[in-house]
Amino acid sequence: MGKKIFSGVQPTGNLHLGNYLGAIKNFVKLNNEDQNECVFCVVDLHAITVAQNPKKLKDNIYETIATFIACGIDPKKSIIFNQSSVSAHSETAWILSCVARMGWLNRMTQFKEKAGKDKEKASIGLYSYPVLMAADILLYDTTHVPVGDDQKQHLELCRDIAQKFNNDFNADNFFKIPEPLIQKEFSRIMSLRDGTKKMSKSELSDLSRINLTDDKEQIINKIKKAKTDTLQLPSASADLEKRPEAKNLMGIYSSLMDVSLEDTINKFSGKNFSEFKENLSQVMVDKIYPISLEIKKLLREKKYLDKILLEGTQKADKIASEKVKKIQELVGF
């Protein structure tokens, strides 16, 4: 039986290699399996949990859609839309925020990381954002959610919320309990400057990430400058455990080449980083640079992007508005 897939990406700019290898590459694979129904959402309501420049936000929404398509998502075989244009997401998020418990949200590690030391100054939206994410997923009777490793805890919360709602309102199976799809390997791509930190859009140094809009020279330069250690490349994966940078770069190479880490280790065992980096740059330019070119091309075709958005929004709205009606009935509205 086919899967019902839902996933989202925030339009906060600087979409990077981590977003691609951790999530979008998997969206494409699932989208290519004919029996699946796929919904891919640009989550602008999530983006405003931290301050955004309104003009830039609009540009970033286009850039995220262009990225989906440039990476290989087929808009004819999937629903691509923008979260804020389907009002059922906000409506459902409110209802679910009355089901979710403070204690559950207090455990979310991403909030703790993002809010930093001064939690009093974080927005309430940043705190309750996993509830909105649950609304996104549950509105579409989603069975599977492809995400990177950092979203695992939010998906567990989504499952808890769905179960509690079904129990509280005596509605067995009303919300489907979704399964996370997190790749076994390479589901957490790390910064090129520090192998212990996640590659992230908000990291100040642009050298820490490969942006999907980087040109050839930028890609080559960033790989050249990527942090390494002074040892030769290992002959066994156990030897990578205390070498986060080497592990990350070899993982990136493996993921781009669609081979296992073991294969990469065997290929480069005993070699030095300069030779490995040349190979890595080459495969990165081969796989990422065409995406970068395609994004830029699509961004010059705003009418085409608008058309995809409009069609996607209509389809998404039909599904979500029917579901939210049923939610409201169950609640007693």
Q: Please confirm, yes or no, whether 201 is among the known catalytic residues.
A: yes
Q: Which residues make Cβ contacts (< 8 Å) with residue 120, sequence separation at least 6?
A: none
**Piece of 55-63, 140-148, 161-169, 280-288 that binds ligand TYM (CB under 6 A):** 140-148
- Pick the catalytic residue: 25, 198, 222, 323? 198
Task: Say whether 198 is catalytic.
Answer: yes
Which run of H or of E encompasses 40? strand 37-42
Interface region with ligand TYM, contact rule CB under 6 A, candidates 143-151, 229-237, 273-281, 297-305:
143-151
Q: Residue 210, exposed/middle/buried by CB under 10 A (0-12, 13-18, 19+)?
A: buried
Q: What's the min distance (Å) between Cβ of 6 and ligand TYM?
A: 6
Label each residue of 189-254 as H, E or C.
CECCCCCCCECCCCCCCHHHCCECCCCHHHHHHHHHHCCCCCCCCCCCHHHHCCCHHHHHHHHHHH
Q: Which one, of 129, 125, 104, 126, lies nearest residue 114 by Cα?
A: 126
d(CA 64, CA 239): 38
Binding pattern for the stretch 174-213 against ligand TYM, x by CB under 6 A and - elsewhere:
-------------xxx--------xx--------------
Count, residues near ligand TYM per rule CB under 6 A: 24
Which residue in the set 4, 7, 211, 268 belongs to the binding site for ligand TYM (CB under 6 A)? 7
Kindly tell me which residue out of 8, 13, 75, 234 binds ligand TYM, with binding defined by CB under 6 A: 8
Beta bridge partners of 37: 4
Q: Mask: binding to ligand TYM, 84-123, rule CB under 6 A, as x and -? A: ----------------------------------------
- Single out the residue of 50, 70, 221, 180 nearest to residue 126, CA to CA: 50
Q: Check 164, 197, 201, 227 and give the catalytic one.
A: 201
- Based on CB atoms, which residue is closest to ligand TYM, 87 or 272? 87
Residues marked active site are found at: 114, 198, 201
Residues in the site for ligand TYM, rule: CB under 6 A?
6-10, 18-19, 22-23, 43, 46, 133, 136-137, 145, 147-148, 150-151, 187-189, 198-199
